Structure formats: structure tokens, C-alpha cells
Chain A
Amino acid sequence: MESLQRKAQELLAAGTVKLVIGYGEGTGVRRRPIFVRTGDQAGSLVLDPACTQNLATYLTKAEVRALGRTALVATPSTLRSILQLAAERQVREENLLALVPLAGTIKELTTFADIEAMVATLPDEIARADQEMLTQLGAMSVVERRAFWEKELGRCVKCYACRAACPMCYCERCTMDNNRPQWVPVASHALGNLEYHVVRAMHLAGRCVRCGTCGAACPHGIPIHLLTFASEGSVRRQFGQPGGASSRPTYALATFKPDDKEDFIR
């Protein structure tokens, strides 16, 4: 923690960055995102296992972006988000650097290539509880699985906390907000909820970095992250492309290859 605070102070004092986004103490045991802009604010930075929210979400928020070059305290998922955002041309290399806590020190990553190299060395696993749930869901019949999601999504109120917390949901105007035509019903009834979450899962196929921040953001405890984990897993299996592995734009679902193994596409 001290090494992070020191690093933040150095970067701000040298003018290398204007802003350090990290975690600070929140209500009770909670941790919250904090925006450190001066050396004396750096003492509020906290680093512990409760710091899990994916802070890459802020890289595309206009108010935050306007503050200048940013250092981001990064978990493995945050690093993957940066790469995915880079691949989708939403962040510029010269505007950010990642601060990665590693064995008691803080590693500073300044290029996408550095981040790619680091990500390649990190274990790419989801939490065991999530894996177990995905296995259980996969073993269900379509009818059972539909019943599971209808029950869970019945609690959804369409507050869009999942969308707002997701680093990959950066669209200024989401499909959900289009009303000419109204693609998806606005109302939070059974169909409106189901369509929203199915569309979101589809839009994150091949792009989800499996941080689970959407599920953690849901006030009603709906495990919606399992939907995007599953769609990401599908693209990973079929195209060999995990979300957030590369900063180069090779989005599996928008790429055509003449030597595709499927013949229907040729």
C-alpha cells in the first residue's frame, strides 16, 4: 500500500500523470474508486483483496478523461479491459499507464505491448463459484435454464447498473436507449428484462474480460455476469480468442477470413 502511495506521489509530482484512479476506503468494509490529483491525496489509496471493482470503466467517462493523463490501479481484469478498449480504439496509449501491484511492489506499465506481455503471464481463470454455476447451468435442459433466468431476471428493475459498471459498455447511446425504432421494450417486465440481458450478453461475446463487475454492481444480486462469461466462453472456444488478450483489433465476430474452417461462410 505504501509503495502504491509513493508511486502515485512520484507520478503526480513529476507531472507524468494528472490523475491516479485507485481504491479508497468506503462505507464500512467497502472500497470505492478514488481520484487522486495531488500528492497529499495519495495517502488515501488503499490496496487489499477488497479492491476488486474494474476501474477501467472510468477511462471512457468524459469527466474523468478531461482530467488528463491517467494512471490506473489495475487488477488482471483491468489490464484486459485496457487491451480490449485499445483494440476497439477507445483509449490511447499516450493517455494512460497501468499500476500493477506485484509482490509488494508496483509495476508501471506504459505501453499496450507491456500490458499484453503481462496479461500473457497471468492466470486467466474465473472464480470457482462462478465456474460451478456455469457448469450447473450448462448441464440444465433449455427449459430448466430458461426457468432459472426468468426467476433471476424477475428481480431486474432495469437500473442499468450492470451496463454502467461494465468497462466494455462505453457506448454513448446504447441500443437500449434508442427509441426510433424501439428495439427492446423499455419496461422492466419479463420480456423487457430478458431482451435487455440477452442483447447485452451478445454484445459482450468475445469482448467480456470476465471481471464480474456487472454482477457485483447489481443491487438485486442477479448473477448477470454469468451470461457474459458464457458468451465470451463460446467465442473463446470456437474462435480461440479470449476477451482482452490483445490490443490489436481482431474482433472474432466482425472478421472474415477466406480460410475459415466453416464452409457456409465462404
Chain B
Amino acid sequence: MVATMVDRLTLSDSAVDALVAALIRSGRRVLGPQLVRSQGQDRIDIAPLASFADLARDGQAVASAKGAVFPKVERLLHYRYAGKSIELADVEPASPPTVLFGVRPCEARAFAALQAVLNWDSEDKFFSHRLANTTVVAISCTEADASCFCTSVGSRPDDGQGSDILLCRLAHGGYLAKVATSRGQALVELGQGVFQALAAEPELAPAAALAPAFDAKTLPQKLAAHFDHPLWVEQSLRCLGCGACAFVCPTCACFSIEDEADSRQGQRLRTWDSCGLRLFTLHASGHNPRDRQSQRWRQRVYHKFAYYPDRFQTLGCVGCGKCSRACPVDMNLKQHLAEAARTLP
């Protein structure tokens, strides 16, 4: 997502509605956060939008938008026995032009962290194809909850980084659109007459107030010096060792390769994996270098807050708090990091 000069335009509420309709009409896959009620419980899913009215403008989706570019199951190749020969076929990436509409700014920022790993030393063609085909239209947050901590990891509720267009709410309805990339510009052109030039300096609705809980800049050094600190054992006592945190995380990029076959055909799949799961590091010999949950919890923290800054000069976390909300035993990452920043000398 190449940054260009940020173009500032405005949209009324009905104009956003018209924009979403135009995007859907154009044949694009339009995904966005939506409130779903089932069995008496509310949750926000990222799902195909039928109209702007469907969009959940506040609150955090359970899952991240990463599934749009890095799906939970991806077919890499398949083969078939044909008589005595084998027909082998690579799968070529094919994904519809996609707009992630109305996601939170933290989600938009996460794609850079995903890219850092997935395109690290060789290009991941499936991921890259999807990413190149995806336009991100984020909406700034006017609410934050007790799991949110974007302001602790160098961002803010109205951060435009990673968004092709960032929509900021205006105080009296409508949005200020900050168009940052050529991909964003393409949407402006598609929604002809929807965007208006800025007449005067707009009055923005206040962004969510979220005080930083810790200083992420000092964390990498602190972590590097305290690999064997009892804090990691203490924090992870209640951790159950599932992959809920990793699978809802917008930056977790670890995957497994699975072969499925019968006597006639087979396929190779890429599936999400998680360092929280015991099997993740289990060797064929039976030895497991991360045999205890405390070691796996520490790995999760270190990967995002020590190894990422070391290798990519950026954090592997955007502070969305999805992991904390999804955790069955309320492992609150913000609190755990604040505790680490406070306790470790």
C-alpha cells in the first residue's frame, strides 16, 4: 500500500451508503464487521456486507480481517492418479477484488506485520495476490474497551497507517475521508459524485480516549534481559494452551502444511497454527523444546515484542485486544504487558 499525498474529502451518511452499494455493484467482495445475534448472544463477525446499514461501526469483531488475505485453509497443490501417471497441479492464486469496509484502524495496520513475515525472504504468492487485490477502508474508533491498547503500541484510534482510505467521523454526521493510496483513489473514482471536496475545516467527532498502559519502546530490551523471569510462569498459570488468541490475532502468521490423500487423489493445504499449542514445537523424536505452557506463553509475548522489533524494526502487535476478548480464561495481554513493563527492571 504505497502512500501518496493524503487527499481529504467528505462524505455524508447517505453518501457512504451509496459508496457501499457502488462497491457491491462493481462486483467486488465487500467485507465488513457486522453485529450477529445467535443463541441470545451478540458478537461481531467480519462478513460480506449487503449495505452500509449492516456495518457495526463500534466495537471489535471477534475474528480479525486477516482471513481475507490469509485464510484458515489454503489449498497449495493437488494431484490425481490417472492410470499409471500422476497429474500434478499447482494452485494459482485467485481471489476476487476485495474491499475491507469499516474495519478498525488497528486491523488496517496489521497487514504490514503480516507482510513482514509472510513475504520475509521469499514472496508468498497466495498472500501477496490477495493483499494486492484488497482495498482497506477503515473507520476511526470513537470507543475503546478495556482490552484495547493501540495507544500503547505506537498507534491511536484514528491512525491512518495501512488504510487506503480512513473514514473519520464528523461531529454532526458524515465522514472525513483521508484517501492515502492510489487504491483508495480508485474507490473515489468508482463512487463518482459520492465524495465531496472539503469546503471548510471539518469538525471531527472526538476519537476514543485511550491512555497508554505501558511504553512498548522499552519492552524489547527488558524482555531480552529477562527470558527466565518467573513472571512468565506466573502469568501463564491460568493459560489453557489453546489457539484462540493466535487465530483471532490480525498479525499471527504461523501456519502448518497438511497433506490429505486417499488412493486416488491428494492435496496439500496450508492451515493456521499457533505457538500456544503443544504440538507446535513437538519434535519427531518426542522432545519438545517448549514443553510447558509458560514457555509457550513467553514465546507469544517475545515473538511480538522482542523478536519482531529485532528483525523487522516494528512491533508484531497492533493493540487490538482481540486475543484478550477471545481468551476463555481472560488472559488480558494489555495487563500482562503493563505488568512486564512495570516489574522487569
Q: How large is the interface on B (under 10, 10 to 19, 20 to 34, 35 or more residues)?
A: 35 or more
Are A129 and B39 neighbours in the complex by a CB distance under 8 Å?
A: yes
Question: How far is B198's CA from A219's CA once the two chains are assembled, in angstroms?
Answer: 42
Shortest Cβ gap from A207 to chain B (Å): 19
Contacts of A209 on B, CB cut-off 8 Å?
none
A220 (CB) vs chain B CBs: closest residue: B62
Are B293 and A63 neighbours in the complex by a CB distance under 8 Å?
A: yes
Shortest Cβ gap from B119 to chain A (Å): 23
Q: Is B260 part of the contact surface with A, judged by Cβ < 8 Å? A: yes
Question: How far is B246's CA from A169's CA once the two chains are assembled, in angstroms?
Answer: 21
Question: How far is B335's CA from A164's CA once the two chains are assembled, in angstroms?
Answer: 22
Number of A-B contacts (CB under 8 A): 114
B259 (CB) vs chain A CBs: closest residue: A182
Q: Is A53 part of the contact surface with B, judged by Cβ < 8 Å? A: yes
Are A165 and B271 neighbours in the complex by a CB distance under 8 Å?
A: no
Contacts of A129 on B, CB cut-off 8 Å?
39-40
- Cβ contact of B39, chosen from A186, A217, A219, A223, cutoff 8 A: A223
Contacts of B256 on A, CB cut-off 8 Å?
186
Are A159 and B242 neighbours in the complex by a CB distance under 8 Å?
A: yes
Q: Identify the stretch in A25-33, A230-238, A247-255 within 8 Å (CB) of chain B at 4 or more residues.
A: A25-33
Are B294 and A219 neighbours in the complex by a CB distance under 8 Å?
A: no
Question: How far is B44's CA from A78's CA once the two chains are assembled, in angstroms?
Answer: 31
Are A63 and B292 neighbours in the complex by a CB distance under 8 Å?
A: yes
Taking Cβ atoms with an 8 Å cutoff, the residues of B that contact A are 38-41, 43, 45, 62-63, 72-73, 145-147, 233, 236-238, 240-244, 246-248, 256, 258, 260, 269, 271-272, 274, 277-279, 292-294, 324-326, 328-330, 332, 335
What are 20 A-B pairs at a CB distance below 8 A?
A27-B146, A27-B330, A27-B332, A53-B328, A129-B39, A157-B63, A157-B243, A158-B272, A159-B274, A160-B242, A161-B242, A161-B328, A165-B242, A165-B328, A185-B260, A187-B258, A187-B260, A217-B244, A219-B244, A221-B39
* Other A-B pairs beyond A129-B40, A219-B247, 17, CB < 8 Å: A27-B146, A32-B238, A57-B240, A58-B238, A64-B237, A159-B244, A161-B242, A161-B243, A165-B328, A177-B279, A185-B258, A186-B258, A187-B269, A217-B242, A217-B328, A219-B244, A219-B248
Taking Cβ atoms with an 8 Å cutoff, the residues of A that contact B are 26-28, 30-35, 53, 57-58, 61-64, 129, 133, 155, 157-161, 163-165, 177, 185-189, 192, 213, 216-217, 219-221, 223
